[in-house]
Chain A
């Protein structure tokens, strides 16, 4: 049934665009627009963009557009911008030079239970007095188990200063998505080296190999009279520890 639907919809699109043909890909510009191309190169060292490459299948059509690709903030100014934007969206921000273990332990209730991703730097938890569950492949915590955790501690992939956004990319030190979702308290470590200024710089560092989660402050809603209320279904407390090593 759906095969027929697929053919028919593609046929409608072709007709809508004034192309001849039925349920197949009739390209009006077949040479410049490949019918399909392999998935995007993975890894941050993906092939550099070729500004002359055809748009469809070859990446964004906006390679030559004149919006900003890089921001102007750097150094301390960049960090301060991130802090300002995170706090604006009601995240708690803590800055540490060197070892963050004491700061992290101070954010967690002593004797409580926490969950961490398998690749988290163990030294970060050296000062924590409580029960640590490692959510590792093959030993994942069940949903009720996650629900019973007081907090989760993770690293992060990228932080975008201008918008106060932290990105988790499913890497071993960020963990799978459920662990940063079900516990009500998220302690998230951001390394200064992972801070970028604006959104395009953040996107450039990411690949969709794993599921990505962009987090800007704790969960919130503005559904009642457009009055912003922090804390709905996601973690209601977001502690961000910015570590300068």
Chain B
């Protein structure tokens, strides 16, 4: 099959290794990968900032790039960008009065898959270890990104693939479905709220004791990794009046993850609410990092992805 790679702007410019890993996986399965020239970005950054007029030429650039070559399916290692192609591009083009572009964008979107969608729905991969040779003997937790969950309805596709990686120690992330607080320009326009959400996400990741937090969206991982890195350097959550901990229901009890001693009061003591918080202690292990799942799937026994404890470089919380 001829697969057109949509690298997405953030992976192209910040995480080229994720696009390379995607190419590696597809070639391993015997598919031809092409990289349509002239591709840039899905336009989501502009659309979500309300700048529809500025988004239109970006959408047009994507349509130009992917209409000018022949391919069977397109793939992007990003749920959010794939969702934007289908959910936003045609809508914005229509609102700009550009019906031809809307039709073209919808057609391309209809043939573009997120990586785990392509692997499971189109290519029929059910066992990453057996089918891809994926091997990654480390404790891993997984953050399902919002747009993967709620716009693409990926369900268990990504986590099923990860669980089937040889040697992996997959740990569930508590409150996994909470947003990490990135939200594109949200993190710039409401940085304190965004940082508060990030702090809670980082706490839950700490509580798993996983060496690596993975996911299918480089933008969320950039954000999460950035938060983990900052906490590791400074020992605190900065940039927000962060005062509290993550509340989660567990076995009829409200658990408070990563709370400081001050938050953890004796049940019934004045000022306590929730009444019976149990404390899941933060299991922070130095060297936690974020990495895109394409790189875990591309990792093999022969050519392994190394983690920090094996001497790998971690930069800004991202595993290089």
Contacts and interface: CB of A to CB of B under 8 A. Distances in A.
Q: Do chains A and B touch in the complex (CB under 8 A)?
A: yes
Interface of A: 225
Contacts of B274: 225
Contacts, number: 3
A3 B166 CA distance: 76
Interface string B257-275: 0000000000000000111
Contacts of A225: 273-275
3 contacts: A225-B273, A225-B274, A225-B275
A228 to B, nearest CB: 14
A225 B274 CA distance: 8
B152 to A, nearest CB: 25
A20 B243 CA distance: 55
A225 B275 CA distance: 10
Nearest to A227: B275
Interface in B263-320: 273-275
A92 B57 CA distance: 67
Contacts of B275: 225
Interface in B85-118: none
A220 B45 CA distance: 47
A53 to B, nearest CB: 34
Contacts of B273: 225
A225 B273 CA distance: 8
Nearest to A225: B273
A203 to B, nearest CB: 32
A135 to B, nearest CB: 44
Nearest to B274: A225
Interface string B232-275: 00000000000000000000000000000000000000000111
B127 to A, nearest CB: 37
B35 to A, nearest CB: 45
B187 to A, nearest CB: 30
Nearest to B275: A225
A225 B277 CA distance: 14
B273 to A, nearest CB: 6
A229 to B, nearest CB: 14
A22 B190 CA distance: 43
A224 to B, nearest CB: 10
B253 to A, nearest CB: 14
